[in-house]
Chains A and B, each alone.
Chain A
Amino acid sequence: MAIVRLRGPLKRLAGERSEHAVEGATVIELMRALESEHPAADGWILDERGAIRRHINVFVNGELGGADTAVAADDRVDVLPAISGG
């Protein structure tokens, strides 16, 4: 399973744990599984359409990925707010 790493409010909503072993073959599958395992985080990463929120970035082994980016066992997946805002 890949290791999903969370910070800030996402870490708090996911039981105050920063690292989570999550099953899935793509980024979007991991995010669905993560929100499902931690209902308090439901809707914080994915919107109602099932898309990753516009200003959330997901990195796979340090490289910016997208919803369909493949994820292998032992990959490191970081979920971070984008550099944006005002």
Chain B
Amino acid sequence: MTELLLGTRKGLFVLEGEPGGPFEVRARAFAGEPVEYAMRDRRSGRVLASVTSPFYGPKVWHTDDPAGDWEQASGIALPEGGEAALERIWVLAAGEADGSIYAGGDPGVLFESRDGGHSFELNRGLWEHPSRPRWQPGGGGLCLHSISTWPGHPERLAVAISAAGVWLSDDGGASWRNGNEGLVARYLPDDAPSDQIALCVHRLHRAPTRPERMFMQFHGGVYRSDDAGKSWQNIAEGLPSDFGFPLAIDPADPDSAYVIPLTADTDRVTPDCRVRVYETRDAGASWSARGGGLPQEHAYLTILREAFDWTGEGERLGLYFGATSGDVFGSADAGRSWSTLATRLPPVLSVAAS
């Protein structure tokens, strides 16, 4: 059984189904409220959700049963009396240490829980980084949207912020350095300083079997790093567009990545009126379209950065994504064939599969 936790503009939807078969809505929670992201911690079985009430502000909630009662996590707030307020929690991710859960949000902030999501603390190293006054928000705000852990090494972390680039830590988040070498921002002047950090990363993932390898969807460009995020090379040649938001990988294959291109930053819909996922199995040297079963005419979909996830690996890799149209698609065979799992949901903000 595969479970999909869908964060939508109007609540959390829990879908269940067998890979390759039909899926059904098993539960809905936080009806009417924007749910940015939800995840099930595979270690504890607990589900966490970030909910941004337009009235009462961003909160993180947890439960053992998404159809039951939820409890609010404590500590999801910026220091009181400052000049900033927390706008949103964009993403939640399990850490490597026991009970560790990370939460990333706007304005470019990282929280960590050490008790499985009951309570969180602000990461001071990133919050107080000397370069913070120069950080600029992207269109969606100053969002920390990607958190990449390093298997077996809880002290090694990479996070990505739109539009403040990639940040790397080797000491569990006590200190941070940027990892932006090789990224080219077409929205900056050619003579912008080389230490420019106004870099609009859209999504970041690490290959778990070769952790120094990372893939990135950028605001104009798809990149690969072979040195743990220190430097990047563009691998977008062969794609119909180098603009897009989400990214997925096959955890068994460090040469694999999947992207869902959009036409351009000025036209954020799937190119050529059809929906296609692009796959590389040679670390970005070439890309192949995977569209069997996806809408191939009059389809103008937008897939957001957190709305693409996977389960399993290799031949049994399951891929799942949702669109702002409220459609959800899945593949049980590593992208070779696809089916529609849900339609007419609220705009899908995030997908987490388990």
Contact = CB atoms under 8 A, between A and B. Distances in A.
A binds B: yes
A1 B57 CA distance: 28
Contacts of B57: 43-44, 47, 53
Please classify how large the interface on chain B is, using the bins under 10, 10 to 19, 20 to 34, 35 or more: 10 to 19
A68 interface: no
B317 interface: no
Residue with the highest number of chain B CB atoms closer than 10 Å, among A43, A51, A53, A86 = A43
B56 A9 contact: yes
B84 A49 contact: yes
Contact of B79 (A48, A56, A81, A85): A48
A48 B67 CA distance: 31
Contacts of B56: 9-10, 44-45, 53, 56, 81
A55 interface: yes
A27 to B, nearest CB: 17
Contacts of B77: 43, 48
A41 B273 CA distance: 47
Contacts of B9: 86
Interface string B41-72: 00000000000001111000000000000001
B78 interface: yes
A51 B83 CA distance: 10
B82 interface: yes
Q: DSSP class of A's interface residues: helix, strand, loop or mixed? A: loop
Contacts of A48: 77-82, 84-86
A66 interface: no
Contact of A49 (B54, B55, B85): B85
A53 B84 contact: no
Contacts of A51: 85
Contacts of A84: 54
28 contacts: A9-B56, A43-B57, A43-B77, A44-B56, A44-B57, A45-B56, A47-B57, A47-B85, A47-B86, A48-B77, A48-B79, A48-B80, A48-B81, A48-B82, A48-B84, A48-B85, A49-B82, A49-B83, A50-B80, A51-B85, A53-B56, A53-B57, A55-B54, A81-B55, A82-B55, A85-B54, A85-B55, A86-B9
Interface of B: 9, 54-57, 72, 77-86
Given A44-B57, A48-B78, A56-B56, 4 more contacts: A40-B72, A48-B86, A49-B81, A85-B54
